[in-house]
Amino acid sequence: MDFTLGLFLAVVATGLIWFIDRLFFRRHRAADVKVPLLVDYARSFFPVLLVVFLVRAFLVEPFQVPSGSMLPTIRVGDFLLVNKFTWGLRLPLIHTELTQGNPVQAGDIMVFRFPKNPRIDYIKRVIGLPGDTIEVKGNDLYINGKLIPQKYIGTFNYRPEGQGEAGMVIPTKEYEQTIGGHTFHIIEFDTPEAHMDFGPYKVPPNCYFMMGDDRDNSDDSRFWGCTPRRNIVGKAMFIWFSWDAETWSVRWNQIGRALDGPNN
């Protein structure tokens, strides 16, 4: 069950128990009679659950990265905090937009509900804004007909997921790229079969073109189209914890890393 829905139902249930007891039973209960255990629990947990629900719905929400599509920026096992208000407040569960917020910028890292299955949250980088024309030729990215330069950084040792610490390491090329004032690193496989051509594709109104920083291993807008504005969950802020399940170790160098600044 969706965690937000479960939390909402818990708030409603504890609130109703506490309210009904206060309205109908508390006044008739003798001073020396112990408060029923269910009512006592509801009275204790309701304010806590309400605060947690409101914070998750309108301020920040934790998010765990399940895949490596944002390597080398974000790794599998990174735990993020997602800003829920920068791009506009939305009602929980029904996702109706209440406020407009700041405009989404190219280069931002967005958490969103996967258009083909809104029950699943995805995380990608915003590459194209409404009205932009996106084209990919091999490893070259063009936005509105302009080639986005790539600066070679070095070799990135890519280890496929699920193979453990002893798994095969595949050397890939790491580049630096700048889009919309954000400077970040991407990785690409330097093999003909890894290259693909896409577009030109014009981003529709109220939609965003998303791509992973692991350009050759990302299920993104090149395959399923743009992300509607109504699917936005929030903007990735920073990594508050990072766990490497392959080696059972904490990635201390990832913890505290900001994701909403110019260098991410």
The set of catalytic residues is: 69, 124
Q: Strand, coil or helix: what is 110? A: strand
Task: Locate 89 and state its tokens.
Answer: 């407040």
User: How far is the CA of 24 from the CAs of 31, 33, 39, in angstroms?
Assistant: 15, 15, 12
Report helix, strand and coil shares of the chain as percent, to nearest 5.
Answer: 20, 35, 40
CA 15/CA 19 separation, integer angstroms: 6
Find the distance separating the first CA and the last CA of the chain, reported in whole Å. 33
What contacts 54, CB < 8 A, 6 or more positions away? Answer: none
Three-point CA angle 115, 237, 124, nearest 5°: 30
β-partners of residue 142 are: 135, 147
